[in-house]
Amino acid sequence: MMYFSALHWIIIGVFTLLFLLLSLLAMKETKQKTVISMIFASFLVTVFATIVSLYVLDKYTKKVKILTYSVRNDYAHESVIISGKVQNIGRYEVGYCTLELRISNDIKGRYAKTSYFSPTKSVDMFGSKQKKNIVKVEKEIVYNLPPKQTKKFLLIARIPSHFEGAKYKLKLFCH
């Protein structure tokens, strides 16, 4: 569930009043089928507009950034440990933040000395397993972060054993 600020409740109230106004206008129609279809259409339009407005407002009011982070490899357990700090730079409280870590296999140098042609699917005809070169890990790292506050986070993720060199990319999603 996302955290609602006062602006979120104002938007919900405005679209609820709009729905009530459209329903009252639809009641002036004499045919019952037309009244029901007009109320249903106004309900769909106002619900859609409310959801879009809440989503857009959520994107502009929940602002959190990663201040610092460090990456350490744990070779004994084939994992990576990422620790750091996040800060709420907005004016509203953030309900929770999810950190997405993308680990990609650095295969630049692997095929440098081979030819330009490398068969892909024709070799895989007999069922050899294709290994993944991208792993995505998500973890909720922050709950109820007040404005201008900073919190520490820690993320531990396993690296597949076939990765020769790993590259990391962090993305933060807050609601």
Per-residue pLDDT of the chain (175 residues; tens, 9 = 90+): 566 778 889 999 999 999 999 999 999 988 999 999 999 999 999 999 999 999 888 888 888 999 999 999 888 888 999 999 999 998 888 888 999 999 988 776 555 454 455 555 555 555 556 677 888 999 999 999 999 999 999 999 998 888 888 889 999 998 8
Q: Is residue 160 located within the same domain as residue 102?
A: yes
pLDDT of residue 129: 64
Q: How many residues does the chain have?
A: 175
- Show which of 44, 61, 78 is a domain's final residue: 61
- Structural domains counted in the chain: 2
What Cα–Cα distance (Å) separates residue 147 from each residue in 37, 39, 65, 166? 44, 40, 12, 34
Q: Is residue 54 located within the same domain as residue 78?
A: no
Q: Is residue 142 located within the same domain as residue 75?
A: yes
Cα dihedral angle (118, 120, 126, 130), rounded to 10 degrees?
110
Closest Cα to residue 155, out of 78, 100, 94, 86?
100
Q: Is residue 73 located within the same domain as residue 56?
A: no
Q: Is residue 71 located within the same domain as residue 48?
A: no
Q: Is residue 47 located within the same domain as residue 95?
A: no
- Show which of 22, 44, 61 is a domain's final residue: 61
pLDDT of residue 166: 84
Report how far residue 60's alpha carbon sits from residue 72's, in angstroms, rounded to the nearest whole number. Answer: 33
Report how far residue 104's alpha carbon sits from residue 136's, in angstroms, rounded to the nearest whole number. Answer: 9
pLDDT of residue 122: 53
pLDDT of residue 5: 79
Sequence letter at residue 149: Q
Q: Is residue 156 located within the same domain as residue 93?
A: yes
Q: 93 lies in which domain range?
A: 64-174
Which residues have a Cβ under 8 Å from the Cβ of 51 and sit 6 or more positions away?
none
